[in-house]
Amino acid sequence: MNFNTIISEEDGPVLIITINRPEALNALNKSVFDDLEQVFGIMLPGRKDIRGVVITGAGEKAFVAGADIKEFSEFNAEQGTALSRRGQGIFKLIEQCNVPVIAAVNGFALGGGCELAMACHMRIAGPKAKFGQPEVNLGLTPGYAGTQRLIQLVGKTTGLELLLTTRMVGAEEAKQIGLINQVTEQGKEVETAVNMLKIIAEKAPIAVAKTIHCVNAYYDKNNDGFEEEAVQFGLCMETEDFREGTKAFIEKRKPNFKNQ
């Protein structure tokens, strides 16, 4: 697959996606969205061997410093709504991905960058990371679901404060408020994320996918997460991996899952 603005590498079962526009602090433009859509909409559904994804930003300064302001500065309402829907749709593909996706945040994660990190299932950051939603400084609301996911992650009280004051939070505070999972050493963000994904890659893949699906159902207003869990739990029992997992436990050995 050919990409213009991302670099795609593999480390065993883990795909590492680097957003590669360091001259613009990896700002999200149309080309980045096209590339992310190819990865999450086309490539990953056809690659059963990939068991986790890391998203990071090129260079030492930024994960992603937001949507590309230069690209939308002349937009009208119709164009703005269309772009917002497109970004939200691509971030939903990430959130609904069958394998875990971790944002490895090495610097600024602002606006659309913070929204991208929040659409991932987990976030690992180095000490130089800075998270923020500065949209109201530009006369905008967040457009890629920042008003929804920030509140889900940190609650309405802290979320509204950050959205309205635009105050940036560092890695330690982000961990404290529940925005990220872990603070790691500077420069080790990707490695830490890959290691976590390699641990998850040893688990039963269908059960991992269904667990992500059930957690997402909690936030889906059209779905009953409790019922969804009961159904998915039952479906797991029809998988070969369920037989293997329980058999391996009884035989006191490591399971050999086949994603079936």
- Active site residues per annotation: 115, 135
**Could you tell me the smallest distance in angstroms from the CB atom of residue 132 to ligand CO8?**
8
Does the protein bind ligand CO8 through residue 84 (CB under 6 A)? yes
Binding ligand CO8 by CB under 6 A: which of 6, 15, 16, 24?
A: 24
Q: Which of residues 142-201 bind ligand CO8 (CB under 6 A)?
A: 142-144
Q: Which stretch binds ligand CO8 (CB under 6 A): 52-60, 64-72, 191-199, 200-208?
A: 64-72
- Indicate the length of the chain as a whole number: 260
Between 60 and 185, CB nearer to ligand CO8: 60
Q: What is the largest CA-CA distance in the chain?
A: 65
Binding mask 120-139 for ligand CO8 (x = CB under 6 A): --------------xx--x-
Q: How far is the CB of 140 from ligand CO8 (least distance, A)?
A: 6
> Which residues, 6 or more positions from 24, have their beta carbon under 8 angstroms from its beta carbon?
65, 68
Contact with ligand CO8 (CB under 6 A) among 10, 41, 60, 70: 70
Closer residue to ligand CO8, CB minimum distance, 138 or 151: 138
CB closer to ligand CO8, 24 vs 119: 24
Q: How far apart are the first and last CA of the chain?
A: 27
Q: Using CB under 6 A as the criterion, which residues of the chain lie in contact with ligand CO8 when the complex forms?
A: 24-25, 27, 65-70, 72, 80, 83-84, 87, 108, 110-112, 134-135, 138, 140, 142-144
